[in-house]
């Protein structure tokens, strides 16, 4: 279990000082696939490097299984890293790379040999054991980097955008592979990525970061369906933003009045939204196209066919274009045409009131 409390990191001093991490509080559970998600420069890599020991936080505390980490150098932490560029030792073979950590821990040669053999099997690289790392492909280097970091059986494995250098097909395969390795080894994974889809498909929980702060922590479905802030809603998936008035708030549920005058039940963000004028977020696939007189009325501006689904762009007064996504069926008939007056509806409890 990793417990991070009040962690901050400021680079430099005076007017040029840059705050990379600001009061980070998070608890990562044992055997969890935990993802730090955010755009570049959000501090996710700095947070990862703080756990590894390459960055000394300015303040705060960091423990692994109750043991203080900040006073320890990287080589004394039960934590291993898979680097973005893999950082395999070019002067060693695949097997020597994988055995390096155990060798440094002073394990007997026989043990190193058997663990390296196990690791080579685990990542399906046994035939390549005696190759130099420059003689294997990018995907294979990725596997070796994973095996090298897993070999000393760390309590926590840190992964710094490990899939970003791979092509699309290989990345999909490695996502499944990583999930498999995590459940087989039972090691806590802390995974850094800027790819929201990668985060949603692999993680047990996700922390969305921006400008050195964690905006929201939750399971993939939680984060996707109920983003607490506009940034989270915007960064993960596509979202429609609608301005509304908050009428009442009670126990996570809110009543909001839409510009059309219709009222609908929505979810309150954690801690409440409080102010009267709010923004609500509705996912394109959570809304339906209906007859005028619905929650929002407008005019159909565009129909875009995507194969698996169709997007309807609806224009209504005083609001940004609202997108509705509908799954295509083989026998479906298109009832609507561009220029039609249409309505937009969604079920109570679907819309999310944003805290901004």
Partner 1 sequence: MSADAQTERNRWLLLTPALTILTLAAAGPLLIVVVYSFLTAGDYGGVVWTFSTDAWFSVVAERDFFDETLSFSDAHLAIFWRSVKLSLMTTAVAFLVGFPTAYFIATRPARKRDFWMLLIMIPFWTNLLIRTFAVMEIIRNEGVVNTVLMKLGLIEAPIQMMYTEFAVTLGMFYVFLPLMVLPIYASMERMDFSLVEAAYDLYASRWKVLRRVILPLIKPGAVAGSILVFVPSLGAYVTPRIMGGGKQLMLGNLIELQFGQGRNWPLGAALSITLLAIVMVALIIYVRSSESEGAHHG
> Given the rule CB under 8 A, which residues bind partner 1?
52-54, 73-76, 79-81, 83, 85, 87-91, 93, 100-101, 104-105, 132, 148-149, 152
Tell me whether residue 149 or residue 217 sits nearer to partner 1 (CB atom).
149
* Nearest distance in Å: CB 166, partner 1: 18
Parallel, antiparallel or unpaired: strands 33-37 and 188-193: parallel
Report the nearest approach of partner 1 to the CB of residue 31 (Å): 21
Cβ pair 324, 286 in contact under 8 A = no
**Coil, strand or helix at 170:** helix
> With respect to partner 1, which residue has the nearer C-beta, 73 or 330?
73
Helix (H, G, I), strand (E, B) or coil at 177: helix
How many separate helices (H) and strands (E) can be counted in the chain? 8, 20
CB of 71 vs partner 1, minimal distance in Å:
16
Residue 18 or 89 having the CB closest to partner 1: 89
Of 73 and 108, the one with the shorter C-beta distance to partner 1 is 73
Give Cβ neighbours of residue 321 (< 8 Å, ≥ 6 apart): 301, 313, 314, 315
Q: How far is the CB of 30 from partner 1 (least distance, A)?
A: 21
Calpha distance 184→89 (Å, rounded): 26
Identify which of 40, 10, 5 has the alpha carbon closest to the alpha carbon of residue 23.
Answer: 5
Where is 150: in which H helix or E strand? helix 138-150
Closer residue to partner 1 in complex, CB, 62/287: 62
Q: Smallest distance from the beta carbon of 81 to partner 1, in angstroms? A: 5
CA 57 vs CA 19, 24, 26: distances in Å:
11, 11, 15
Minimum distance, C-beta of residue 149 to partner 1, in the bound complex (Å): 8
CB 74 within 8 A of CB 149: no
> Token digits for 262?
């219709």
CA triple 158-193-210, angle to 5 deg: 110
**Shortest distance in whole angstroms from residue 158 CB to partner 1:** 9
Q: Which is nearer to partner 1, 85 or 347 (CB)?
A: 85
Cα 298 to Cα 3, 149, 178, 333, 343: the distances in Å are: 49, 55, 46, 21, 6
- Residue 102 or 236: the one with the smaller Cβ distance to partner 1 is 102
Q: How many CB atoms lie within 10 A of CB 68?
A: 10
Closest CB to partner 1 among residues 127, 271 = 127
Q: Give me the least distance between CB of 282 and partner 1, in Å please.
A: 43
3-class secondary-structure state, position 176: helix
Cα gap 255→246, rounded to integer Å: 6
Identify whether the C-beta of residue 58 lies closer than 8 Å to the C-beta of residue 212.
no
**Mapping DSSP to helix (H, G, I), strand (E, B) and coil, where does residue 297 land?**
strand
Q: Give 152 or 343: the residue with its C-beta nearer to partner 1.
A: 152
Find the shortest distance in angstroms from Cβ 21 to partner 1.
19
């Amino acid at each position: 279990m990793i417990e991070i409390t009040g962690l901050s990191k400021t680079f430099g001093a005076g007017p040029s000082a840059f705050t990379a991490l600001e009061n980070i509080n998070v608890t990562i559970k044992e055997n969890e696939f935990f993802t730090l998600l955010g755009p570049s420069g959000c501090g996710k890599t700095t947070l990862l490097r703080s756990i590894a020991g390459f960055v000394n936080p300015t303040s705060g505390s960091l423990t692994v299984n109750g043991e203080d980490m900040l006073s320890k150098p990287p080589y004394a932490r039960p934590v291993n890293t898979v680097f973005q560029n893999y950082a395999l030792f070019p002067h060693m073979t695949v097997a020597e790379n994988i055995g390096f950590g155990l060798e440094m821990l002073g394990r007997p040669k026989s043990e190193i040999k058997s663990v390296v053999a196990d690791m080579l099997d685990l990542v399906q690289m046994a035939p390549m054991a005696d190759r130099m790392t420059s003689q294997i492909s990018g995907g294979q280097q990725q596997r070796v980097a994973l095996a090298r970091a897993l070999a000393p059986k760390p309590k926590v494995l840190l992964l710094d955008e490990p899939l970003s250098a791979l092509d699309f097909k290989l990345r999909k395969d490695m996502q499944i592979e990583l999930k498999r390795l995590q459940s087989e080894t039972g090691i806590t994974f802390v995974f850094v990525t800027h790819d929201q889809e990668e985060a949603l498909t692999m993680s047990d929980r996700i922390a969305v970061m921006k400008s050195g702060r964690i905006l929201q922590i939750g399971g993939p479905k939680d984060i996707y369906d109920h983003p607490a802030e506009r940034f989270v809603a915007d960064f993960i998936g596509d979202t429609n933003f609608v301005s509304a008035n908050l009428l009442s708030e009670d126990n996570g549920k809110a009543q909001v009045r839409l510009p059309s005058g219709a009222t609908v039940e929505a979810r309150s963000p954690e801690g409440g939204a409080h102010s009267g004028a709010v923004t609500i977020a509705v996912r394109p696939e959570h809304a339906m196209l209906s007859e005028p007189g619905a929650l929002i009325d407008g005019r159909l501006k565009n129909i875009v066919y995507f194969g698996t689904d169709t997007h309807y762009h609806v224009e209504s007064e005083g609001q940004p274009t609202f997108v509705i996504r509908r799954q295509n069926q083989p026998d479906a008939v298109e009832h609507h045409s561009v220029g039609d007056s249409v309505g937009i509806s969604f079920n109570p409890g679907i819309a999310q009131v944003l805290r901004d």
